Structure 1
Amino acid sequence: MSFFFRAASRPARPSPQELVRSIKESLLALDTRTGAKALEDVEKNVSTLRQTLSGDGEVEPNQEQVLQIALEICKEDVLSLFVQNMPSLGWEGRKDLAHCWSILLRQKVDEAYCCVQYIENHFDLLDFLVVCYKNLEVALNCGNMLRECIKYPTLAKYILESSSFELFFQYVELSNFDIASDALNTFKDLLTKHEAAVSEFLCSHYEQFFELYTRLLTSTNYVTRRQSVKFLSEFLLEAPNAQIMKRYIVEVSYLNIMIGLLKDTSKNIRICAFHIFKVFVANPNKPRDIIQVLVDNHRELLKLLGNLPTSKGEDEQLEEERDLIIKEIEKLVHLSV
């Protein structure tokens, strides 16, 4: 009897249409009503949405209902209301909404992601999410939502090519460490998730991108310098970025930046800088001006490389590479005499 009593006492969930209508009405009411009641209604509806989309621990989500909710949310323009009203919600409401966002974006109809298609027709939502990094209260929630969007090539491509992308070069230097780190994670996803789109973007925006990136490498902020040189050392050495790397390592200005980073007080920065510097030196097709810089600065460079920090037994490959680069520089000096 107790089982039947519990089953009977469970309140019936609203239909997808009813739930979406209720969410929409409560979000719209935020513009016309003030006070805790309006916000409470929204957060209650968003909590119900989260339980419906992901289950409540006792009842698993009904996938047919989940898909229907996604379709209704797009049809009723509720996805736009989610983004626009994110700053108005409390901590729990924002958390629930970001969780729902990731589930909604994954819903497919005939091999098409319906919510992704909606965002493709409302790209301004992506710009809004990027700008939200300036809002301390919602930055991390919006960062999570952006990274969900970046999983889809069309959305990532838009952000890369939009004017909003340049804001990330500011965000990674924000004084709030958590937000700056989150922005860097989003920045990395933009540059690593979709090889073809990234390659196309960097080929057409090469000068502009690396001019901005150079500011990060020479930042007075230690964390910014360390994270940016580490990412660049990983990014340039990946096979899909070979053409970008070949272009980068023939420019004297970038070689000089790496030489400067080899002098940094941080062991980690010096090691990451070495992994980029070594490609300049090992390049079999070094331009004359690159060779000249290496020869003119060979004494200082040999000293810096000789003092490159390595831990005994920790990285034998690093020591081997360092020795090869030292020999190559000495060879260049010998040939120039």
Structure 2
Amino acid sequence: MSFNFFKQFKLKSPSELVKVTREALLALDSKTVAEVRLLEKALEEVDKNLVAMKHMLMGEGDAEPNPEQVSQLTFEACKDDFLELLVQKLPSLGWDARKDSVNIWCTLLRQNIGGRQYGLEFIEKHAELLDFLVSCYETKEIALNCGNMLRECARYPSLAKYMLESASFELFFKYVELPNFDIASDAFSTFKELLTRHEVVVCQYLTTHYKQFFRLYDRLLGSSNYVTRRQSLKLLGEFLLERSNAPIMMQYISEVHNLRNMMTLIKDPSKNIQSSAFHVFKVFVANPNKTPAIVNILFKNREKLLRFIDNFHLDKEDEQFEEEKELLIKEIESLQPVE
């Protein structure tokens, strides 16, 4: 019976499949007790249609998808409001249907039909869907599904740029500290993807939103949550030391507040946090164009810093690390206060 069912659905044309799936998604609006059975039937219909759509797009078993059907389905699904409905109805769907929705979303977004990316074009025109997906981190049942969809979107510069510049981006600073570890970790993965995937887009964003971004980032570096502190500090080192972010790094290492943060973090009880903080701290010291304020802070704390660096060791031998330590020690020893 199951075999006949799938055979029946494979006979639907792409346009018919999109049409009946859209109608079933719309039917999920049924709310009253009298319509409970109708709602159940609509959910069953959505489940079946999404499976059929996934198979048409991605193939089934050893069977490869039909390129012509994939093209037609992509065009039909991205023509009207189908993708919008698919996202909006995620909270109403079951576990399997949500998983299928993610696969469909990601597959449609990757399609290039005759030089056009219909999925990408649709989302660019309906970018508010990305804000909705970000807000879904607050809904436990669909948070991880939406995270997968967001990271797929982050692969594209235009969508990553929108997400970074949107007001909803600030929500990540809250979501990475959610009490649910899986959701917080997923949110951090998306956060990291947005800050490291597209160098030019990230540099433009950080240049324009420097104060606002680092004000929020300071909270992560000072978080009482060890995982948040460790991950945020490691990520800071990654995107600051990107060559394309050199102007951002120079501004960051010219500010006394940031130096004080790193000097605090290199004394953290955690060796991992010490190591990541040291990775950023050494840039303050090695900078040949240190501001007078930075020089004076380093000079004032010279003896403590020299003792710390001399006693600081990694868990495994690292020749480059030892060379860096020697250079830092020489640099700090040679410091003189600036009037």
* Same fold at TM > 0.5: yes
Q: CA deviation at 1:113?
A: 1.0
1:258 aligns with 2:262: yes
Q: CA deviation at 1:189?
A: 1.2
Q: How many residues align?
A: 329
Q: CA deviation at 1:312?
A: 4.3
Distance 1:336 1:146, change over 3 A: closer
Task: Tell me what 1:3 maps to.
Answer: none
Task: Tell me what 2:59 maps to.
Answer: 55
2:19 partner letter: R
Counterpart of 2:307 (choices 303, 308, 311) is: 303
Task: Tell me what 1:201 maps to.
Answer: 205
Alignment of 1:315-334 (within 5 A): 315-333=318-336
2:112 partner letter: K
Q: CA deviation at 1:147?
A: 0.7
Task: Tell me what 1:182 maps to.
Answer: 186
Q: CA deviation at 1:322?
A: 1.6
1:282 aligns with 2:280: no
Following the alignment from structure 2 to structure 1, what is the Cα–Cα distance between the partners of residues 52 and 217? 43
Following the alignment from structure 2 to structure 1, what is the Cα–Cα distance between the partners of residues 316 and 93? 53
1:88 aligns with 2:86: no
Percent same amino acid among aligned pairs? 56
Following the alignment from structure 1 to structure 2, what is the Cα–Cα distance between the partners of residues 171 and 319? 38
Q: Secondary structure at the match of 1:109?
A: coil
Following the alignment from structure 2 to structure 1, what is the Cα–Cα distance between the partners of residues 7 and 94? 27
Q: CA deviation at 1:304?
A: 2.1
1:31 partner letter: D
Moved more, 129-138 or 49-58: 49-58
TM-score (norm 1): 0.93
Task: Tell me what 1:213 maps to.
Answer: 217
1:109 aligns with 2:113: yes
Counterpart of 2:251 (choices 242, 247, 253) is: 247
Distance 1:189 1:312, change over 3 A: closer
Task: Tell me what 1:24 maps to.
Answer: 22
Q: Secondary structure at the match of 1:175?
A: coil
- 1:253-289 residue CA offsets vs partner (Å, 9 max, x unmatched): 0000000000101101101101110000000000100
Task: Tell me what 1:67 maps to.
Answer: 71
**Aligned partners of 2:292 and 2:338 also within 8 Å:** no
1:76 aligns with 2:80: yes
Q: CA deviation at 1:235?
A: 1.4
Task: Tell me what 2:12 maps to.
Answer: 14
Q: CA deviation at 1:109?
A: 3.3
Task: Tell me what 1:270 maps to.
Answer: 274
Structure 1 unaligned spans of 5+: 1-5
Following the alignment from structure 2 to structure 1, what is the Cα–Cα distance between the partners of residues 197 and 99? 24
1:146 aligns with 2:143: no
**Aligned partners of 1:216 and 1:228 also within 8 Å:** yes
Q: CA deviation at 1:324?
A: 1.4
Q: CA deviation at 1:10?
A: 4.5
Q: Secondary structure at the match of 2:21?
A: helix
- 1:176-205 residue CA offsets vs partner (Å, 9 max, x unmatched): 111111111111111122222111111110
Q: CA deviation at 1:142?
A: 0.2
Q: Secondary structure at the match of 1:332?
A: coil
Following the alignment from structure 2 to structure 1, what is the Cα–Cα distance between the partners of residues 214 and 116? 35
Following the alignment from structure 2 to structure 1, what is the Cα–Cα distance between the partners of residues 7 and 127? 40
Following the alignment from structure 2 to structure 1, what is the Cα–Cα distance between the partners of residues 296 and 307? 18
Following the alignment from structure 2 to structure 1, what is the Cα–Cα distance between the partners of residues 11 and 272? 55
2:18 partner letter: V
Q: CA deviation at 1:336?
A: 7.1
Following the alignment from structure 2 to structure 1, what is the Cα–Cα distance between the partners of residues 274 and 128? 41
2:254 partner letter: V
1:182 partner letter: D
Counterpart of 2:159 (choices 149, 155, 159) is: 155
**Aligned partners of 1:267 and 1:309 also within 8 Å:** no
Q: CA deviation at 1:75?
A: 1.8
- 1:220-264 residue CA offsets vs partner (Å, 9 max, x unmatched): 110000000011111111211111111111000000000000010
Moved more, 153-162 or 302-311: 302-311
Q: CA deviation at 1:78?
A: 0.5
